[in-house]
Amino acid sequence: MTCNGRNVFTGEPVEVRFNGSITSVDISQSPAPGPWISPGFIDIQVNGYDGVDYNNPAISQEEIARSLDVQFSAGMTRCYPTVITGGPDDMANCLRNLSRAKDKLKTGMAMEGFHVEGPHISPDDGPRGAHPRRWVRPPDVDEYRRWQEAADGRVRLITLAPEWPGAPKYIETIVGDGVVASIGHTNAGAKEIADAVSAGATLSTHLGNGAHQMLLRHPNYIWHQMAEDALMADFICDGIHLSGSFLKVAIRAKGIERSVLVTDAAGPAGAKPGRYRLGEQDVDLTTDGRVVLAGQDKLAGSALRLDRGLANLMKLASLTLSQAAQMATVNAAKAGKIAGRRKGLTPGERSDFVIFQFDEAKKEIKVEQTWISGEKVFQS
């Protein structure tokens, strides 16, 4: 099999040969520039899509498959369906249901693993975000083991607040199992963040969000995480969660190589405006594209598509196409420890591709094809 296009990282026309993995990448002799080709986009934080809530343990395999199909149209090739703070049984049952779908769905391979965001987060208003306060609880290794049992060992990323007593030991335990420990929804001080990093934390979850509306000017948990070189950071680039000025500054602080695009999409993403569910809570998708707790103005995830996230990085943060693609591909794979996806368009890597048209003047991407492990899952 072959795919042709302009290499998103170099601009050169290339011919990529592949089966389940890339076998060769050669300069193409095609005189026409053609479409662009990129490693497939990766989303390590997605709570649902197309009206499907991954935090509902009763969602059907057909609904999960439909939600994946819509994401394929945006260039998604690997994702971490994300389960947020909830009751212990509900969280375990959601993971069990998602893991069953991964095994049985034809496109289940796109669900690379699972992200558990909470329940070990700050109970405080602001850092807690839209997570239900009544289910916030301290880190518990036994509960982590129950998650892994329910998910067949596929929990790959856990977001927690490092200020909880015992958090460093908990981080050491999960990191020892190969799970990514990410700092998020936190009210931690500098020492608590440093201790988490020493214990093995390597990521900040949606940096700049899940935070107080008002913070001390200098010593605060956003600055501490931006300054910590051992932490990568992911960002919700929908133009709603973060301003362009914050994105520019935060990405400069972390460096492109440590910055990651995520959607943090909730169930209403890709659906019509209206009322939906996120776990045990009602949420509204507004006509201007915000996902908020029902009847409130508190953000509860996003309605972002990955292709539009790349476009927003170019528009809001003044990144190049190559830099935006790096954040959505190899950087996301490094942050999520996804094997076979950390080197880009290179022989030996998985054959996950996105073929797209790029309007440079408008900074807009139109996905034409999405491939996963050498199989086409979307054609425009």
pLDDT in tens, 280-339: 999 999 999 999 999 999 999 999 999 999 999 999 999 999 999 999 999 999 999 999
Distances (CA, A) of 271 to 55, 70, 231, 248, 291: 17, 10, 34, 30, 11
User: φ, ψ for residue 219 (rounded to 5)?
Assistant: -80, 95
With a CB cutoff of 8 Å and minimum separation 6, the contacts of 249 are none
Residue ranges in the chain modelled with pLDDT below 50: none
Q: Is 269 helix (H, G, I), strand (E, B) or coil?
A: coil
Q: Cα separation of 135 and 91, whole Å?
A: 11
The pLDDT of residue 29 is 82
The pLDDT of residue 33 is 74
Half-sphere exposure (CA, 13 Å, Cβ side) for 84?
30
CATH of domain 40-343: 3.20.20.140
The structure's pTM equals: 0.98
pLDDT in tens, 37-72: 999 999 999 999 999 999 999 999 999 999 999 999
